[in-house]
Amino acid sequence: MTPHFTAERWADYVRGLGAQDVRARMARHLAEGCAQCNGLVQLLEDVGQVVRGNAAMAPPAWVVDREILRFDDHTARRCPPLVASLVSIQRPQSGSATDRAACRLIYRALDAVLELSLTPAPDGAVWFVSGRIHPGRTVACAGCLVSAHGSDDASASAAARTDAAGQFAVVCPSQEGARLEIICASTYTLIDVPLGRDAASQPTPADQRRA
């Protein structure tokens, strides 16, 4: 019987790789009835069939976005985050308790303006957040990654990308320590928005003067 071949050689064999003379010796070895090598070849062929089947499956869009977020998040965190400053907060003065709990927040970060609308879920567990980034010279609006974080959750609970107009929508935990993180697609600037703290606060003096 011809000598055994390595697992690496058999992996090439089942994929149709390798020199013709070597492949001929390997085929002869299998034909001689080596149980060990025939079993390995069968296993490699089964694995190859599974891999080919998986390769035909496109990953869900949310998986792709999550992995992009991880890459961009790692890149952005090389620099300290910018903390957005609250400029204005407005709340409805009438309507149901849920309506009055909603609010409109305006932030500034560098030369960009962030406009947010928060609406609490009926059970109060989360906020439905819709927003728009008005860009400046250093912060773009399209393609930014917006992630929502709870007070005790270091990883993102939800994430979205801004559209061409800088608009986005995410669901954020309704907690005092909840926040949004925005990663600018062009400069990898990381902007931290202390959403929970500001949503629980009272209107700013500028809002009170306008009232």
pLDDT at 192 > cutoff 50: yes
Give the type of residue at 42: Q
- Which has more pLDDT, 51 or 206? 51
pLDDT at 155: 53
Residue 210 parent element (H or E):
helix 205-210
pLDDT at 112: 85
Please give the average per-residue pLDDT across 105-112, as a whole number: 87
- pLDDT classification of 180: cutoffs 50, 70, 90: confident
Residue 134 parent element (H or E):
strand 126-134
Report residue 205 CA to chain centroid gap: 36
Domain limits of the chain? 7-55, 61-210
pLDDT at 206: 41
Give the type of residue at 196: G
Please give the average per-residue pLDDT across 105-134, as a whole number: 87
pTM of this prediction?
Answer: 0.55
Give the type of residue at 23: R
Residues sharing a CB contact under 8 Å with residue 79, sequence separation 6 or more, in sequence order: 188, 189, 190
